[in-house]
Structure 1
Amino acid sequence: MRISARQRQARLATRHRLAVKAATPEEAAASVVALHGTDPATVFLSAGARLAAPGPEPVERALYADRTLVRMHGMRRTVFVVPAALVPVVHYSSNLVIARRERASTLKAFGAGGWDEAWLKDVEESVLRILAEVGEATTQELSALEPRLREQVRVSVGKPYEGVISVGSRLLGLMAMEGLLVRCGRASATWISSIHRWGLAPEMRELAAAEAQAELAGRWLAGFGPGTEADLKWWTGWTLTEVRRALTAVGAAEVELDEGVGYVLPGDLDEVPEPEPWAALLPALDPTPMGWQARDWYLPPAHRAELFDRSGNVGPTVWWDGRVVGGWAQRADGEVVWRLLADVGAEAAAAVEAAVHEQAAGLAAWLGGVKVTPRFRTPLERELSAL
């Protein structure tokens, strides 16, 4: 069976809650498996683009009060915000392997400071005791209570990116990767801040790696399918053997795509109805444009140089009816501005302009004067923000 690019765009529109909005941040996050969390603002903007009633308050409540969304490292060592029920799946499918590599790298780096594995373990146990007593603390607060976290070591000596890091900056993140700590609270007055509070991680159900990978692959196919082996390998960071094993475990069905062989969940072969034309302003690092390795079916190659940075991070994008047609940014005064890059025809261009204008006004309203600058800036975003 063949699934056309147009059908893929229709699936994306409804399943990613872009044409049919979600009622809660948890539903918005689950629609794309997880929200990218490397840039704190992305979490709020990505959720807002999918919510019927967007705004920072429901996202903050889910993250810090209800804790139904959890910020954690996951696939490709990237920070994500995931529904709480998915934490064990991400941890056992992807995080543990990354954590083992990170521990080995940390021990090597700290060895330059004269600190061995026993010393590191003693510091870790001290951090756990402190958090058991105080409940939550920032890195700075923990460093005041455990001074060894302030110790510094020079890393990558002799390389262009040589620098000095503190024990705390490396160790606390490692402990979180290993499932010992969790980012559990905001430590700044603004929701775009990356400063957070640490707490002890709650117990999680244990899963075999293969079982967790099968569940994660199934969730990805439900939201992003059809996709190729290469797409899933890129998104997860797994080996090709792991990808194929997971696809087999979920009984993925083969389909024909423009890129070659793709996969969907069993029973997901029927055509889906196309929604009414829709517009969306998606932020930098949004999970939809970052969901596949092969992107020609929704993002023309001619636009990539303007919309991506040199490391492959996508900037803010303008979507129309399932395709990326431009980019947007905020000016210094907070105004949302955009530019269309694709020629969609005069009639469609008028409809796009009207829809995007409405979206921009709504976005500016709930931002309430907050200025968001992406952590990874792209050529078009820089140009537009300077207008």
Structure 2
Amino acid sequence: MGGVGGGVRRHIGAAERRARLALRHRLTGAARAAAPEEVAASLVALHGSDPATVYLAVGARLADPVKTLPETERALYEDRTLVRMHGMRHTVFVFPTDLTAVVHASTGLTVAARERASLLKDMAKAGAPDAAWLAEVEESTLAALARRGQATATELAADEPRLREQFVYAAGKSYEGVHTVSTRLLRVLGVEGKVVRGRPLGSWTSSQFRWAVAPAHPELDAAGAQAGLLRRWLAACGPATEADLKWWTGWRVTEVRRALSAIGAEAVSLDEGDTGYVTEGDAGPVAEPVEPWAALLPALDPTAMGWQRRDWYLAPELRPSLFDYSGNVGPTVWWNGRVVGGWAQRPDGEVVWRILDAEGVGREGETAIAAQAEHLRTVLNGSRVTPRFRTPLERELSAPSA
């Protein structure tokens, strides 16, 4: 069995990939987690663009759904063992705290440099103050945030009034607009790893957050951090193709190949002639039996969004119903490693679902899916959740019943 360079390749088919997914993503009963930290470590990252996704993704994988809301809040805002920050593809994720330095060095620094340059360029075009002025505002803002612990942009502007300054963006263009210094600067500080999102202003479904000073972390070598992140992700999601890796990380293909070589990744063959990669020593068959399982996963769940090439778990004909026009997946129903439908909540809070691909589901599958719907109701605990990115089936199912 060889590394990236060649050797005899073992074949890992779709059925085995689904078995790996079930166990490593904690979706079977025996693999369920006891705490949110275990879920995040197993998945590497939880999508955080929609705040509700974090809680629902955790809840779908906890053995005790009653713990979902209080334990996830504890991890995020009390113990800070989970941190919400910008990561791959300039997207907001929730990571285990011990992974923040790796994410920052492997994916954040390049994006951060681009974001700061863009802000300074836009300010210069608008005749706004220069980089020295912005540096003063930044220093003052970080000092104010350190004093307060957590604060909104409005609260910070009370301490540093220059945050209220505005400048015209893209003057004369069809998309011309007015930006406030606080909005753009806090975004830059976020991707630079200097600030992170703190407690929300409202409930656990709120998308309005306070800001907090980022936890201290060591500065790592970019190439070493990329190798570390890729090793973690392949352990959770391998085998994956080079296209999957490039898409998930947002790196250049040369960076992906360098990281694969650095960790001694092993090449395997996949269905339809694709080449996939696993971590060194991980090409063997799944040793544990996988019991039949069902799951109701939220919009943007890291399992549903984990790979660019998804035909091995999601039939192409289901995509128009389950994805929006930007490629964001909505709430999904799973049976034995395949997406078979979608779910939603009606205005009265009722959880409803529809099977779009009934092949192999049968009575056993329907019973298991109904049990997971009950699990989800326990997680929700009376809350009403509307995904941030609406999809055709979710919109249809969420309409009031006749």
The aligned residue for residue 154 of structure 2 is: 140
Counterpart for residue 38 of structure 1: 49
What's the counterpart of residue 285 of structure 2?
Answer: 271
| Aligned-partner residue type, residue 104 of structure 2 | H
2:322 aligns with 307
Task: Tell which deviates more after alignment, 70-79 or 44-53.
Answer: 44-53
Counterpart amino acid of residue 117 in structure 2: A
1:339-354 equivalence runs, <5 A: 339-345=354-360, 348-354=361-367
Question: Which residue of structure 1 lines up, in the alignment, with residue 5 of structure 2?
Answer: none
Equivalent of residue 248 in structure 2, options 213, 227, 235: 235
CA distance in 1, matches of 2:193, 2:264: 30
CA–CA distance in structure 2, aligned partners of residues 144 and 382 of structure 1: 41
**Matched residues in 2 for 1:324 and 1:297: separation?**
10
Query: Partner amino acid for 1:294?
Result: R
CA contact (8 A) 1:308 1:378 kept: yes
Q: String of CA shifts for 1:76-96, please: whole Å, max 9, x gaps.
A: 000000000000000000001
Aligned to 1:330: 345
Contact 2:246 2:256 in 1 (8 A): yes
Q: Contact between 2:128 and 2:167, CA under 8 Å: does it hold in 1?
A: no
Q: Aligned pair 1:101/2:110, yes or no?
A: no
Q: Which moved more, 1:52-61 or 1:295-304?
A: 52-61
Partner Cα separation in structure 2 for residue 380 and residue 153 of structure 1: 40
Contact kept, 8 Å, 1:64 with 1:186, in 2: the verdict is: no
1:186 aligns with 2:200: yes
Measured after TM superposition, the shift of residue 199 of structure 1 is: 2.0
1:213 is matched with: 226
State whether residues 39 and 374 of structure 1, in contact with CA within 8 Å, keep that contact through their aligned partners in structure 2.
Answer: yes
Summarize the Cα distance change of 1:295–1:158 in structure 2 as closer, same or farther, 3 Å threshold. farther
When the two structures are superposed, what TM-score results if normalisation uses the length of structure 2?
0.93
Shift of 1:237: 0.2
Please show how residues 243-254 of structure 1 align to structure 2 within 5 Å.
243-254=256-267
Contact kept in structure 2, 1:253 and 1:264, CA below 8 Å: yes
Change (3 A) 1:240 1:15: same
Given the superposition, is the C-alpha separation of residues 156 and 380 from structure 1 closer, same or farther in structure 2, using an over 3 Å criterion? farther
Cα distance per residue 1:268-308 (max 9 Å; x no partner): 11111341110000000000011111000000000001101
Counterparts of 2:285 and 2:382, CA distance in 1:
42
1:261 aligns with 2:275: yes
**TM-score normalised according to structure 1 size:** 0.96
- Equivalent of 2:335 in 320, 328, 345: 320
Relative distance call for 1:160 and 1:367 in structure 2 (3 A) is farther
| 1:366 and 2:379 aligned | yes
What residue number does 2:133 align with?
Answer: 119
Letter in 1 for 2:100: V
Q: Which has the larger displacement, 330-339 or 142-151?
A: 142-151
How many percent identity over aligned positions?
63
Amino acid at match of 2:328: N
SS of the residue corresponding to residue 194 of structure 1 reads coil
**Other structure's SS at 1:50 match:** coil
Cα distance in 1 for partners of 2:298, 2:175 equals 28
Residue of structure 2 aligned with 1:64, choices 77, 98, 115:
77
Q: Which moved more, 1:110-119 or 1:35-44?
A: 110-119
CA distance in 1, matches of 2:316, 2:264: 32
- Between the aligned partners of 1:48 and 1:145, the Cα distance in structure 2 is 39
Deviation of 1:158 after TM superposition, in Å, equals 4.4
Deviation of the 1:113 alpha carbon:
4.7
- Change in 2 beyond 3 A, CA 1:255/1:154: same
Q: Secondary structure at the match of 2:312?
A: coil
Match of 1:155 among 169, 177, 180: 169
TM-superposed CA distance for 1:159, in Å, is 4.4
Report matched runs for 1:82-97 at 5 Å: 82-97=95-110
What corresponds to 2:19 in structure 1?
10
Distance in 2 (CA, whole Å) between partners of 1:113 and 1:34 is: 40
Distance 1:344 1:159, change over 3 A: farther
After TM superposition, the runs of 4+ consecutive aligned structure 1 residues lying more than 4 A away are none
Moved more, 235-244 or 271-280: 271-280
Return the offset for 1:187. 2.8
Q: State the Cα RMSD in Å.
A: 1.3
- Looking at structure 1, the residues matched to 378 and 114 of structure 2 have their Cα atoms a distance apart, in angstroms, of 44
- SS where residue 240 of structure 2 aligns? coil
One-letter amino acid of the counterpart of residue 352, structure 1: G
User: Is the alpha carbon distance of 1:157 and 1:369 closer, same or farther for their aligned partners in structure 2, counting shifts above 3 Å?
Assistant: farther
Give structure 1 stretches of 5+ with no counterpart.
Answer: none
Contact 1:228 1:261 survives alignment (8 Å): yes
Indicate the larger mover: 353-362 or 377-386: 353-362
Q: Could you tell me how far apart the structure 2 residues matched to 1:79 and 1:352 are?
A: 34
Q: What letter corresponds to residue 11 of structure 2 in structure 1?
A: R
User: Shift of residue 26 of structure 1?
Assistant: 0.7
